[in-house]
């Protein structure tokens, strides 16, 4: 589960504002075990965001973005202000997605209604739409509801989607990130990830043993003054476990430095690595000028595009 969250963090960073900003804890249920929030408005204003958007507006990627806009009635690169995804367990069925932005409710509703499996039910003053994706029928029925013209709620569990609507209406208990994840939500984060009860979210594999000893985790990506930063904070079950995580991270940094001639930019990033242990807590940070990050990001995006081209 944590690996999937990290992958989302990497590719998730792959002129419009509707109250966009840091995670609004009042919009997330108190029972969330993990949450990811992307401030797309802040991303568009950042140097790294402008680079990503520029790349996605070129070549085949631009054609795909244009097709998405034509099909769904909004431009994901311009019209989405923020995306929040959270779940009450490691199972995909527990996940709820909140998309906020300039969305085309009538167009999307008409598109969903064209599905032969379409159903609808009323919940309070709102309509919950449901359908089965023919290409992913094994995932079962999907549910979607516009909480407001600017906010769409999507999930695979009807009861959890209704609970999400109740939280947005102030009728259910909402998240306290500091209490749940051991750290607050940074106001300037482009991307924030928080998780708790990591033992239940982490696969039972030897390489995940250290992660399984973590009680909770917060991760954020920020850009300020031309400096791109990543920060991870973990609260472990014991002080020894916190020291072990720091030692593992330091070992990975030392190994990466052995390859610095082949990857000098990567070496510059790991050179910035800093870690601090305070009792059962460990914090790890890396930072480097955004301008130095862009060549690495371009290479990653090119490699990802090439991999996608190989898929049938």
Phi, psi (degrees; rounded to nearest 5) at 113? -65, -20
Neighbouring C-beta atoms of residue 170, cutoff 10 Å: 8
Q: Which residue has the higher pLDDT, 271 or 95?
A: 95
> Is the separation of the CB atoms in 234 and 193 below 8 Å?
no
> Is the separation of the CB atoms in 202 and 208 below 8 Å?
yes
Q: Between the CA of residue 181 and those of 10, 68, 184, 231, 249, what are the distances in Å? A: 20, 35, 8, 14, 21
Beta strands in 70-199 (DSSP E): 80-87, 95-101, 119-123, 126-132, 141-148, 151-155, 189-196
pLDDT digit string, tens, across residues 14-55 = 333 334 478 999 999 999 999 999 999 999 999 999 999 999
Torsion of CA 181, 154, 137, 134, to 10 degrees: -140
* DSSP letter (8 states) at residue 210: H
Question: CA-to-CA distance for 174 and 32, rounded, in angstroms?
Answer: 9
Q: In this predicted structure, what is the pLDDT of residue 210?
A: 67
Residue 1 has pLDDT above 70, yes or no: no
The pair of three-digit structure tokens given for residue 154, joined into one six-digit string: 């999507």
The count of structural domains within the chain is 1
Q: Which residue has the higher pLDDT, 103 or 258?
A: 103
Q: In this predicted structure, what is the pLDDT of residue 15?
A: 31
Positive or negative, the CA dihedral 11, 17, 23, 29 is negative
pTM (two decimals)? 0.86
Could you tell me the residue range of the domain that residue 159 belongs to? 2-310
Q: In this predicted structure, what is the pLDDT of residue 3?
A: 37
């Amino acid at each position: 589960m944590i690996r999937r969250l990290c992958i989302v963090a990497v590719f998730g960073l792959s002129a419009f504002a509707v109250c966009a900003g840091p995670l609004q804890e009042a919009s997330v249920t108190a029972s969330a075990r993990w949450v990811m929030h992307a401030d797309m408005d802040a991303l568009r204003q950042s140097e790294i965001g402008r680079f990503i958007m520029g790349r996605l507006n070129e070549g085949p990627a631009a054609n795909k973005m244009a097709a998405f806009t034509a099909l769904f009635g909004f431009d994901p690169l311009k019209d989405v202000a923020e995306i929040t995804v959270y779940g009450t367990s490691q199972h995909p069925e527990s996940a709820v997605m909140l998309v906020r932005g300039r969305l085309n409710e009538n167009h999307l509703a008409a598109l969903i209604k064209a599905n032969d499996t379409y159903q609808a039910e009323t919940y309070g003053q709102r309509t919950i739409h449901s359908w089965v994706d023919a290409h992913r029928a094994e995932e079962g029925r999907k549910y979607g509801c516009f909480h407001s013209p600017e906010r769409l709620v999507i999930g695979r569990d009807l009861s959890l989607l209704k609970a999400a609507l109740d939280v947005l209406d102030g009728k259910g208990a909402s998240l306290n990130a500091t209490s749940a994840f051991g750290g607050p939500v940074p106001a300037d984060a482009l991307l924030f990830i928080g998780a708790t009860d990591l033992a239940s979210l982490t696969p039972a594999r030897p390489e995940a043993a250290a992660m399984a000893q973590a009680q909770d985790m917060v991760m954020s990506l920020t850009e300020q003054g031309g400096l791109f930063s990543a920060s991870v904070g973990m609260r472990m079950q014991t002080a020894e476990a916190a020291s072990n995580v720091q030692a593992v991270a330091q070992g990975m940094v030392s190994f990466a430095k052995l390859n610095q001639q082949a990857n000098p930019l990567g070496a510059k990033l790991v050179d910035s690595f800093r870690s601090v242990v305070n009792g059962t807590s460990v914090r790890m940070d890396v930072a480097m000028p955004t301008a130095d990050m862009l060549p690495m990001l371009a290479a990653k995006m090119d490699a990802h595009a090439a991999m996608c081209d190989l898929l049938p």
